[in-house]
Chains A and B, each alone.
Chain A
Amino acid sequence: MQTIDQLISQAPIFAGLAPAHIALIAGCARNEHVDAGTLLLREGDPAERFFLIRRGQVALELHAPQRGALVIETLHAGDVVGWSWLFAPYRWQLDGRATHTSELVSFDGSCLRGKCEADHELGYQLMRQFAARLVETLQATRLQLLDVYGHARVPE
Chain B
Amino acid sequence: MPASRNDAVEQARMMPEPFELVSKRRDTSDTWTLELASHSGRPLHFSPGQFTMLSVAGCGEVPISISGDPDNPDRLVHTVRAAGLATQAICAAERGVTMGVRGPFGRAWPLEEAQGRDMVFAAGGIGLPPLRPAIVAALSRRERYRRLVLLYGGRTPEQLLYADELAAWSERGVEVMVTVDSAGPEWPGQVGVVTRLVPRAGLCAERTVAMCCGPEVMMRFTVVALREAGVCANRLFASVERNMQCGIARCGHCQLGPTLVCRDGPVYRWTDLERWLAIREL
How many chain-B residues does the 8 Å CB contact rule pick out?
29
Closest to B215 in A: A148
Residue of A nearest to B156 (CB): A149
Q: How far is the CA of A68 from the CA of B182 in the complex (A)?
A: 13
User: A140 to B184, Cβ gap below 8 A?
Assistant: no
Residues of A within 8 A of B42 (CB): none
Cβ–Cβ < 8 Å partners of B217 in chain A = 143, 146, 148
Residue from A70, A139, A152 within 8 A of B182 (CB atoms)? A70
Inter-subunit contact A143/B184 (CB<8 Å): no
Chain B contacts for A100, CB-based, 8 A: 188
Whether A148 and B124, one on each chain, are in contact in the complex, defined by CB atoms closer than 8 angstroms, is yes
Contact of B195 among A59, A72, A97, A140 (CB under 8 A): A140
A11 to B172, CA, bound (A): 32
Which B residues are in CB contact (< 8 Å) with A76?
A: 190, 200
Number of A-B contacts (CB under 8 A): 69
B66 at the interface (CB under 8 A from A): no
Contact B193 A71 (CB under 8 A): no
Contact B159 A74 (CB under 8 A): no
The distance in angstroms between the C-alpha atoms of A57 and B188, with both chains bound, is 9
Which residues from A are CB-within-8-Å of B190?
Answer: 57, 74, 76
The answer to whether B182 and A71 touch across the interface, beta carbons within 8 angstroms, is yes
Within A119-154, the residues touching B (CB, 8 Å) are 139-140, 143-144, 146-152
B131 at the interface (CB under 8 A from A): no
Contact for B191 among A71, A148, A150, CB less than 8 A: A71
Residues of chain B contacted by A151 (CB below 8 angstroms): 83
**B183, B200, B217, most chain A CB atoms within 10 A:** B183
Distance (whole angstroms) from the CB of A82 to the closest CB of chain B: 16
A147 to B181, CA, bound (A): 8
Q: Are B196 and A140 in contact (CB under 8 A)?
A: yes
Contacts of A71 in B (CB 8 A): 182-185, 187, 191
B192 within 8 A of A: yes
List, sorted by A's number, 14 A–B pairs whose CB atoms are closer than 8 Å: A59-B185, A61-B185, A70-B182, A71-B185, A76-B190, A139-B221, A143-B195, A143-B218, A143-B221, A147-B155, A148-B217, A149-B124, A150-B155, A151-B83
Task: Give the interface of B toward A (CB within 8 A).
Answer: 83, 124-126, 153-155, 159, 179, 181-185, 187-193, 195-196, 200, 214-215, 217-218, 221
